[in-house]
Structure 1
Amino acid sequence: MNAPFAARPDTKVRTEAEELLVAPSRERRRLQCYLALVLGDIAAVFLGFAATGYVLAGAEGLSESLIHAQLILPIYLTLALYNGSYSIATLQEGWRGVFRGLIAMVIAVVVVVFVQFLIRPDANVSRSSFNGGALAAILAIAWLRLQLRAFVRWRCGETIINELIIDDGGPQVNLRGAIRISAAAMGLRPNLNDPDALDRVGLVLRNIDRVIVSCPAGRRAEWAMMLKGANVDGEVLDDEVVRLGAQGARVVGKHGLLLVSAGPLGLRDRAIKRLFDIVFAGSAILALSPLLIAVAIAVKVQDRGPVFFMQRRMGRGNRFFNMYKFRSMTQALCDSNGNVSASKDDQRITRVGRFIRKTSIDELPQLFNVLLGDMSLVGPRPHATGSLAGDKLFWEVDTRYWQRHSLKPGLSGLAQVRGFRGATDHESDLVNRLQADLEYLEGWTITRDIQIILLTMRVLVHDRAF
């Protein structure tokens, strides 16, 4: 008699679970994408070496090249696994996956060459076959990974992960690709004393990778405790983090601490950036020495005044330094404090000065600032302390202005290649370049520095250089 009734609760549970399921699982789809990347990398390594060996030496070269591929492949896969070549980040950003895969491949080639030299220094190995195969494999990895972007989008969509926003009466949150639900409409309550409420939240969070709860301050602690047991990356909205500019949090004893400042670059990144600065600036000075000498002579002949103009600027850590330029204004009217920005028809600018300012040649002596360590090739441009945006000092326009000094100032920066340069006649002129500077601080890479340098070459001559 009880059998007909035994199935009813199960049916109810299944129905409720289906109703509360807000997203299908993407975990299996991500695993399929990782597998596709692994198989693609394996195929790229073998194809690169095999094709090179066959082209250079026929069937005999093919056999030798396949041996090289077998030696490199396990090392490459191990390195790729540990450097994040198969991760959510690489699924979200295709070029990041390409870059990490190429780094793993280059290191794998170096390791094989080093081990080969230690074990069999007299081995008769075709260098052209090995080097050509390695280069072909690198190109094949990059090409195949880019081709697999279509497969990743097909299996996982644009967002890769399931991100959920639970609106429980807090501020409005807008995240691209995120699923949004109302806690009231779904019957979700942060009641830690009600197992049914916990179960209902658990059903909603099924298949979710990250959840954000927006609620009043009084319910944040309850939601935080519920999320801790939900097996999901959970975040609770707190706009105090924005007001303080917090970058992280930790607990010390019974106290919670918000991280509000940190050096934007670690030791390794600072070393890479400094080495790049020294090599590039030193090479540029040697290559441009005829031009530097010619300009120095022209400035001197113009009015017999000093060749260089030094102006106190604010650099890293809000510390002053002397920045060098070719003098472009008459000696008597030079503004060492930068109280008056140059204008298009500025009478203080000499004939030589007008040319070197328009072509940005007047900035070249800052290469010596780079070698001295006061500046970097790329970074926020240093400003004179008296500079005005409209009728306000720069830091009076936006208090975030001081944040840009956490890195060395640069010869060029993200703001400059976006066209935000020249006189700051309006407050918006400062706000635009400040926003670009802060964006640069948030995601530094040496690749981005190289891109900015290349883009700078295109804007050396510009109509806002007065």
Structure 2
Amino acid sequence: MTRFKNSDLIIPISVVIHLGIINVTLSLLTPDTYNSVYHILYYNVTWLLITYGMGYYPTSRKERFTTNLNQTLRLYLTYGLAYFALFGVIGKIYKSFEYQLFVYLLICAFLILYRILFYWARRNYRTVGGNSVNVIVMGDDPNLTKIQRVFDEPELGYRYLGYFDDNLSKSSSHLGKIIDCFRFTLDHKVDEIYCFASKFNHKELKNLVNFADNNLIKINIIPDNKEIISRTMSIELYDSIPVLRLRKVPLDTEYSRIAKRTFDIIFSSLVLIFILSWLTPLLFILIKLESPGNLFFKQKRHGLKRNVFWCYKFRSMHANGDSHKRMASKNDSRTTRIGKLLRRTSIDELPQFYNVFMGDMSVVGPRPHMELHTWDYQTTVDKYLVRHFVKPGITGLAQIRGYRGEITKKADILNRVRLDIFYIEKWSLALDLRIVYQTIGNAFKGEENAY
């Protein structure tokens, strides 16, 4: 199916369809604003300039629908600002701001719908051989099976032909010795070669690169990872020296930090105004009636970069000297009657929205541990301190998966750290919203480990 191999029109077609969606929607719903040559030029040129500046269209072969959702959101927000800026320039707005907002949201909805249809169509197109590339691998490495699994995914459009290695193998994908690859590559119209650097010396690699360059074949070098490369690594050039950054997370970017902080401020403000404003005096009376002591319980915990901060909760226990050394356990005698209700519904955690508003915590993130536990786990649990690359949260991925409350066995803390690191590496606003939604649901249903 060589006729399907080259798909250079994919990006131009997408550009035309995107502009078509924008122009048709505006011409039908806002004709008074749209029907001007200057305005038409403005809508189209700003879209082209913004997408070019963001590098939106040059997509990679491995990109999926969910790969660059953050970038897509930034594009819609930026173009939205440009869209409404026009009304400031012309000094008037057609119908009303609310109507124009509706029109723009409708444009975004159509663009998202096209994105869904695009990736669906591309998957089917690649499944039948379209936009595909023939690939081979040079060298047998422990990571060979992993890269083979990637090549075997139909939606990515790779046609994996096999690998070459001087060691004999009974594997059906073993095509022969290294010397055999040159003739095979030309006979089978190979488009890309993937080469494990650990299997070749400098001279052999140079020969492979020269062969590929002289035959219009792309060559990709897979570095010797020494078992340390992670999913979140990225590569940067320091002058002409490639440097691998092994841990680059979404919240490293200024945009992501601003988006998350904005969400934290808005969400915590709503809780402080509409819930804690009336709940705090009510709980003050109920807690005081049952046991003497303060309304709030505060404890030093480690946050971002292991900085210490005061974490606040509604007091759920009788005054005792073990609070800073021992976690609450099932049927804990220290817990008051009102405290059991507060802990079962997670209401005792609500004062931490003050921490969120002040910037010590986030609504969603790894749960902060008391100082004593941090000192212990940082030496006994591998990668424990990775959790402190981001702000701690009131709730988190580990908590909605059932890993909350008392730590009774080593697997509890290991699974928490694993899920916390996964959250850090895969953070998105959509993930935060899902965690918040499930946390609220769990609070109403009740949780086994909430005591």
What's the CA shift for 1:234? Answer: 1.8
Give the distance between the partners of 1:393 and 1:90, measured in 2 at CA: 44
Give runs of aligned pairs for residues 411-450 of structure 1, distance below 5 A. 411-450=394-433
2:252 corresponds in structure 1 to 265
Q: Is the 8 A contact 1:376 1:409 kept in 2?
A: yes
Out of 69, 80, 86, the position equivalent to 2:57 is 86
1:371 corresponds in structure 2 to 357
Q: C-alpha deviations, 1:17-42, integer Å up to 9, x for none? A: xxxxxx9698623x343234223313
Q: Provide the alpha-carbon RMSD of the alignment.
A: 3.9
Q: C-alpha deviations, 1:50-82, integer Å up to 9, x for none? A: 4425xxxxxx76974998555413322332243
Question: What is the identity percentage for the equivalent residue pairs of Structure 1 and Structure 2?
Answer: 23
Letter in 2 for 1:207: D
The question of 1:170 aligning with 2:109 is answered no
1:294 corresponds in structure 2 to 282
The question of 1:182 aligning with 2:148 is answered no
Q: Which one is further off, 129-138 or 349-358?
A: 129-138
Q: Is the 8 A contact 1:26 1:207 kept in 2?
A: no
Letter in 1 for 2:295: V
In structure 2, do the counterparts of structure 1 residues 156 and 250 end up closer, same or farther at CA, with 3 Å as the change threshold? same
What's the CA shift for 1:303? Answer: 0.8
Give the distance between the partners of 2:204 and 2:397, measured in 1 at CA: 40
Give the distance between the partners of 2:234 and 2:72, measured in 1 at CA: 29
Q: Is the 8 A contact 1:89 1:96 kept in 2?
A: no
2:267 corresponds in structure 1 to 280
In structure 2, do the counterparts of structure 1 residues 66 and 99 end up closer, same or farther at CA, with 3 Å as the change threshold? farther
Give the distance between the partners of 2:313 and 2:18, measured in 1 at CA: 50
Q: C-alpha deviations, 1:264-318, integer Å up to 9, x for none? A: 5134433333333233223321221211222233222221122222222222212
Out of 220, 229, 241, the position equivalent to 1:234 is 220
Give runs of aligned pairs for residues 11-410 of structure 1, distance below 5 A. 28-29=6-7, 31-53=8-30, 64=35, 71-88=42-59, 92-95=63-66, 100-101=71-72, 103-118=74-89, 120-121=90-91, 125-127=94-96, 130-157=100-127, 162=133, 164=135, 166=137, 168-173=139-144, 174-175=146-147, 176-178=149-151, 179=160, 181-184=162-165, 185-187=174-176, 189=178, 206-208=190-192, 211-213=194-196, 215-216=198-199, 219=200, 221-222=202-203, 224-226=205-207, 228-229=209-210, 230=212, 232=218, 234-242=220-228, 247=233, 259=245, 265-288=252-275, 289-332=277-320, 334-337=322-325, 340-387=326-373, 393-410=376-393
Letter in 2 for 1:294: L
Q: What are structure 1's unaligned runs of at least 5 residues?
A: 1-22, 54-59, 191-195
Letter in 2 for 1:415: A
Q: C-alpha deviations, 1:184-239, integer Å up to 9, x for none? A: 3434538xxxxx9767667778322x7252754xx254565456554636233424
Q: Is the 8 A contact 1:84 1:100 kept in 2?
A: no
Give the distance between the partners of 1:131 and 1:64, measured in 2 at CA: 19
TM-score, reference length from structure 2: 0.78
Paired residues, what number? 422
Give the distance between the partners of 1:213 and 1:142, measured in 2 at CA: 38
Q: C-alpha deviations, 1:224-255, integer Å up to 9, x for none? A: 54565546362334242517999456787999
TM-score, reference length from structure 1: 0.76
Give the distance between the partners of 1:45 and 1:325, measured in 2 at CA: 50
Give the distance between the partners of 1:139 and 1:245, measured in 2 at CA: 31
Give the distance between the partners of 1:99 and 1:66, measured in 2 at CA: 32
SS at match of 1:46: helix
SS at match of 1:45: helix
Q: Is the 8 A contact 2:196 2:224 kept in 1?
A: no
Letter in 2 for 1:280: F
Give the distance between the partners of 1:351 and 1:136, measured in 2 at CA: 52
Give the distance between the partners of 1:108 and 1:254, measured in 2 at CA: 35
What's the CA shift for 1:137? Answer: 1.9
In structure 2, do the counterparts of structure 1 residues 90 and 228 end up closer, same or farther at CA, with 3 Å as the change threshold? closer
Give the distance between the partners of 1:335 and 1:163, measured in 2 at CA: 63
In structure 2, do the counterparts of structure 1 residues 279 and 215 end up closer, same or farther at CA, with 3 Å as the change threshold? same
